[in-house]
Homo-oligomer: A and B are copies of this chain.
Amino acid sequence: MDAKSFEHKKVLITGGLGFIGSNLAIRLVQLGAEVTVVDSLIPTYGGNLWNVEPVRDKVRINISDVRDPYSMKYLVAGMDYLFNLAGQTSHMDSMENPETDLAINTLSQLQILEACRHHNPDVRVVFASTRQVYGKPQSIPVSETHPVVPVDFNGVHKLAAEQYHRLFFDVYGVRSVILRLTNTYGPRMRVVDARQTFLGIWIRRLLEGKPILIYGDGKQLRDYNYVDDAVEAMLLAAISNNCCGEVLNLGSKELFSLTETAQVFLDLFPGGKVEYIPFPEDRKRIDIGDYQGDFSLITARLGWEPKTTFHEGMRRTISYYQQNQQKYW
């Protein structure tokens, strides 16, 4: 990527105080962008002012909710780039409160895109979606042509939001790219519970001297992306003219069972323990089984591939939480 691509560019990041949004904001500030982060700071959603501490004086922070169409209309105007990351990410919460999930993950996206269309049609949009839209894979690795059969409301609502982004490009020419993220992890992720990724709560338990809990037999397969790699994909997607209106998977060259994942933790954290427990019924019925994303399309379109091994990424992540524990507990 040309290091000047974002210099002096106006960038809006929804969910910008959250895990991925804040890492993206820090990177964009380093690249010389003028960054506005918008975040609702809803307690369970992962927004945390400490996340942007390294660039606190260099970003504009706007606390508002994407469900508020008036603030969004004002905020998108004049932006060169919109990284659309705000959302409710918990699968379980979406089952408890599907209407809230619909309002945040679907209706808000419609309103944001309507704001772009009417007030800033030239903005470039990157939408952070999720592999959850596929549901239980019929086979792995899963490419973008795999059927979309989400197993929870969160997947249904993110899928509708994806379709909005595609439609606003096809019908109105608003240039969007949709990235389907897989398990992203790294510094600044939520660790108090599994609402973003179970890797967060695993780290917390280890640092608290508690065993990691694995549901079921630990044989489920997962792929992981270190947050810097996910951020790089977003930056590349934002500036490319080669993927407007398209859906692109992220993914990893490495594939781990949950047991193997835990082993990486234990290598980095000697003395840690793992405990296997029965799958809770409410989680089991929305579980997707094995997953691995096929990311060959984004490699072809944008030249992206993940650069950080899981071992190295986890080492950095654990180190971050050892140093910043009190800000995330």
- A residues adjacent to B (C-beta < 8 A): 95, 98-99, 102, 106-107, 110-111, 114, 145, 147-153, 155-157, 159-160, 163-164, 166-167, 170-171, 285-286
Contact = CB atoms under 8 A, between A and B. Distances in A.
A115 to B, nearest CB: 13
Most chain B CB atoms below 10 A, which of A149, A156, A164: A156
Contacts of A111: 99
A300 to B, nearest CB: 19
Contacts of A285: 170-171
Closest 5 CB pairs of A and B: A156-B163, A160-B160, A156-B160, A171-B285, A98-B110
A107 B114 contact: no
Given A99-B110, A151-B170, 13 more contacts: A99-B107, A102-B110, A106-B106, A147-B147, A148-B148, A150-B163, A151-B171, A153-B164, A156-B163, A156-B164, A160-B160, A171-B285, A171-B286
A145 B95 CA distance: 26
Nearest to A157: B160
Nearest to A282: B171
22 contacts: A95-B171, A98-B114, A99-B107, A99-B111, A102-B106, A102-B110, A106-B106, A145-B147, A148-B148, A149-B163, A150-B163, A151-B167, A151-B170, A152-B167, A152-B171, A153-B164, A156-B160, A156-B163, A156-B167, A159-B160, A160-B160, A171-B285
Nearest to A114: B98
